[in-house]
Amino acid sequence: MISAYFNGKFVEPNESVIPIDERGHQFGDGVYEVIRIYDSKPFMMDEHLDRLYQSADAIKLRIDPNREALKNTMLELIQKSGLTNLDLYVQVTRGMAPRNHLFPDGPVSVSMTAKPFRSIPVGDKGASVILHPDERWENCYIKSLNLLPNILAKQLAYEQGYLEAILVRDGKVTEGTSSNVYIVKDSSIITTPLSNHILSGITRMVVKNLAGHLRIPFVEKQFTPDQMVKADEIFITSTTLEITPIIRVDDKQINDGTTGTVTKALQEQFKKIF
Ligand code: PDD
């Protein structure tokens, strides 16, 4: 089965050789998306495409204006992969040119992979997170390939036995290294408002809609690490982690250390979408 694509060719991932002078490889000069496909049905694909184009625009990357063609290539890869439940990774970079910081004139590079779901490591049991300084730049709304601060913080969490690092900037919680973060207090969901300091998560958008459906107040305001550890519930979301309960922050247990009722209600509604 074919499970990758690079600049016009469907290939096996190990067959595809990225040229040395490729801007994604040399500079991380590009943007990406991760889209989940449930039972052969892409989930929120148009919203992911919107964000891909917004990210590209923000870094002055001239992505293929024919959005339908790009979407069709994505759908073709899904079909060729033979998988029904998969994560589709799409990356667009500023293309190939001898290494020079200035923008090249040539076409962009597009690569994609289709991989079976990695299982969610914690499921309903809940996971633990650490708090970590947000050392990223000012433009975290761009889904850029430059993820060094994210991977360093995530690795640190992993080495200590935690699932995720939750980032803190100027005394306020921003988001996880690859997830958005929410607390529940007095039956309201509170999450960091959208700004240039967080990624506008597609799962966040879904959770906001589900909260509306369940008539649970969804409050977009900043909160501190202290408010986080004193919350009734915490959960994080992403395309691959879906809605993951958090039951421990550093060495502090949250509430009674089990998944809370609001988180459970959201998880149940989320499952009903597919
Ligand atoms: N990450 N914040 C950051 C920094 C992220 O990297 C992600 C997703 C999210 C959640 O966004 P969404 O709900 O649209 O997946 C928030 C992806 C999954 C990744 O890098 O693998």
CA of 273 to the centre of ligand 1 (A): 19
Asked whether residue 136 falls in the same domain as residue 266, the answer is yes
Asked whether residue 103 falls in the same domain as residue 226, the answer is no
**121 falls in which pLDDT band (50, 70, 90)?**
low
Residue range(s) defining the domain that contains residue 216: 123-271
Asked whether residue 112 falls in the same domain as residue 187, the answer is no
Which of 116, 143, 162 is a domain's end point?
116
CATH number at residue 161: 3.20.10.10
Q: Whose CA is nearest to atom 19 of ligand 1?
A: 178
Work out the average pLDDT over 155-175.
98
Which of 116, 139, 155 is a domain's end point?
116
Q: Is the pLDDT of residue 195 over 90?
A: yes
Q: Is the pLDDT of residue 120 over 80?
A: no
Residue by residue, DSSP assigns the chain as ---EEETTEEE-TTT----TTBHHHHH--EEEEEEEEETTEESSHHHHHHHHHHHHHHTT----S-HHHHHHHHHHHHHHHT-SSEEEEEEEE--B-SS-SSPPSSPPEEEEEEEEPPPPSSGGG-EEEEEEE----S-TTS-BS--HHHHHHHHHHHHTT-SEEEEEETTEEEEESSSEEEEEETTEEEEPPPSTTS---HHHHHHHHHHHHTT--EEE----HHHHHTSSEEEEEETTTEEEEEEEETTEE-TTSS--HHHHHHHHHHHHT-
Q: Is the pLDDT of residue 118 over 90?
A: no
Which of 71, 92, 116 is a domain's end point?
116
Q: Whose CA is nearest to atom 1 of ligand 1?
A: 178
Asked whether residue 24 falls in the same domain as residue 157, the answer is no
**130 falls in which pLDDT band (50, 70, 90)?**
very high
Work out the average pLDDT over 27-48.
98
**Higher-scoring residue by pLDDT: 120, 254:** 254
Asked whether residue 263 falls in the same domain as residue 179, the answer is yes
Asked whether residue 127 falls in the same domain as residue 188, the answer is yes
| Structure confidence at residue 274 (pLDDT) | 83
**219 falls in which pLDDT band (50, 70, 90)?**
very high
**125 falls in which pLDDT band (50, 70, 90)?**
confident
Asked whether residue 132 falls in the same domain as residue 171, the answer is yes
CA of 239 to the centre of ligand 1 (A): 7
Q: Is the pLDDT of residue 64 over 90?
A: no
Q: Which of 143, 172, 271, 272 is catalytic?
A: 143
Look at 60-69, 179-188, 210-219, 259-268 and tell me which has the smallest mean pLDDT: 60-69
CATH number at residue 106: 3.30.470.10
Asked whether residue 176 falls in the same domain as residue 158, the answer is yes
Q: Whose CA is nearest to atom 8 of ligand 1?
A: 178
Global confidence as pTM: 0.97
Mean per-residue pLDDT of the chain:
96
Asked whether residue 93 falls in the same domain as residue 35, the answer is yes
Look at 6-15, 106-115, 232-241 and tell me which has the smallest mean pLDDT: 6-15
Asked whether residue 246 falls in the same domain as residue 153, the answer is yes
Work out the average pLDDT over 142-157.
98
**122 falls in which pLDDT band (50, 70, 90)?**
confident
Asked whether residue 132 falls in the same domain as residue 106, the answer is no
Provide residues with CB under 6 Å of ligand 1.
Answer: 34, 175, 178-180, 199, 201-204, 237-240
Asked whether residue 262 falls in the same domain as residue 169, the answer is yes
Closest C-alpha to 77, from 13, 22, 144, 145 = 13
Domain count of the fold of the chain: 2
**249 falls in which pLDDT band (50, 70, 90)?**
very high
pLDDT per residue as tens digits for the range 73-108: 999 999 999 999 999 999 999 999 999 999 999 999
